[in-house]
Amino acid sequence: IYHLEHRRDHVNGIIFFFSLSKKCDLHKLEEGPPVQAVLTREEGLQYYRTMQIMRRMELKADQLYKQKIIRGFCHLYDGQEACAVGIEAGINLTDHLITAYRAHGYTLTRGGTVREIMAELTGRRGGIAKGKGGSMHMYAKNFYGGNGIVGAQVPLGAGVALACKYQGKNELCVCLYGDGAANQGQIFETYNMASLWKLPCIFICENNRYGMGTSVERAAASTDYYKRGDFIPGLRVDGMDILCVREATKFAADHCRSGKGPIIMELQTYRYHGHSMSDPGISYRTREEIQEVRSKSDPISMLKDRMLNNNMASVEELKEIDVEVRKEIEDAAQFPPLEVRGTNPWVKLKSVS
């Protein structure tokens, strides 16, 4: 990854042109997203901060889960940050988004605060869903969850896209699902309706290589998820490179807004944790495999290296952001003890968190 050139812009300061890490694979498309991307210093710092907040928040959730302060289902997003931040950079906040149960990252990019997310995870009324949804059911403006049933969010997303078309506001719906859900029948039914009605819907398969504990090769006769729409155009994107994701999302959004109907994107990404907190994540893959992805294609490290190598930011600046982010996460995870009702009206218990 290297920058080709840079020039000064009156509004944004210096603009950097980067060639992307990998060209997109195309299905039923004459041309794909550009192979160069523009990145300003401000954008780079913003993406870096958001991805670091996401990473630190998930590591904190891991810690709180092990302390039994967070309970129940908990699916962490660390490793996949470039997907959420890249997608948001390619659409508008007035567009709509729906995802599965690995939803903490999208809750943040859609406008939720770290404190609201942490409060939700720990079942507090200050949570983004008043403490009633927990890890899998968080919502925000134009964000429809957090859905616990595998694949169920896909037809719902098509319904949101139908509303977008009906209301005529030139909005679209981003509908996310994993490689594990990609074999669900309801997804293919949705493809059919979305194509017939030319719905402004970007179907995005976040392929993190494992559906629960099953590798994609063992679960799918075809692992070309971007071709699964058959009659729907698709592209396969490096989901670890934030600029690749952003440019592909912009391309897909333009496709939808121009009335051409739905499009499919497959983001090749990776999760560092197990499927959920009950999965150690090393019974079906090796520690060496995880370490190799961390060292060679970590989304945060890739952006950091890109910025440092091109003098877009200094080591000190990025360290300062890291310190601020750590403090923000620690502060957001400090809660006063809760009073919990006992087995009768006269007994009150205090939580330990």
Confidence of residue 8 (pLDDT cuts 50, 70, 90): low
Gap between the Cα atoms of 203 and 181, Å rounded? 12
In this predicted model, what pLDDT tens digit does every residue of 178-219 receive, in sequence order?
A: 999 999 999 999 999 999 999 999 999 999 999 999 999 999
Q: How far is CA 287 from CA 69, 291, 311, in A?
A: 27, 6, 34
Specify the pLDDT at position 9.
54
- Determine the average pLDDT of the residues in 278-284: 95
SS3 105: helix
Gap between the Cα atoms of 134 and 183, Å rounded? 27
SS3 55: helix
Confidence of residue 14 (pLDDT cuts 50, 70, 90): confident
Cα–Cα nearest to 265, from 206, 197, 189, 187: 206
Q: Is the pLDDT of residue 151 over 50?
A: yes
Gap between the Cα atoms of 335 and 353, Å rounded? 7
Specify the pLDDT at position 140.
98
Say if CB 325 and CB 56 are below 8 A apart. yes
In this predicted model, what pLDDT tens digit does every residue of 287-342 receive, in sequence order?
A: 999 999 999 999 999 999 999 999 999 999 999 999 999 999 999 999 877 777 77
Confidence of residue 352 (pLDDT cuts 50, 70, 90): low
Give me Rg for the CA atoms of the chain: 21
Q: Is the pLDDT of residue 1 over 80?
A: no
Q: How many residues does the chain have?
A: 353
In this predicted model, what pLDDT tens digit does every residue of 64-95 receive, in sequence order?
A: 999 999 999 999 999 999 999 999 999 999 99
- Determine the average pLDDT of the residues in 137-152: 97
DSSP structure string for 75-86: ---TT-HHHHHH
Q: Is the pLDDT of residue 3 over 70?
A: no
Cα–Cα nearest to 303, from 47, 24, 40, 42: 47
Specify the pLDDT at position 338.
72
**What pTM does this model have?**
0.93
Gap between the Cα atoms of 130 and 126, Å rounded? 6
Say if CB 64 and CB 120 are below 8 A apart. no
Other CB atoms within 10 A of residue 75 CB: 21
Cα–Cα nearest to 219, from 182, 170, 169: 182
Gap between the Cα atoms of 5 and 8, Å rounded? 11
Specify the pLDDT at position 347.
84
Q: Is the pLDDT of residue 262 over 70?
A: yes
Confidence of residue 5 (pLDDT cuts 50, 70, 90): low
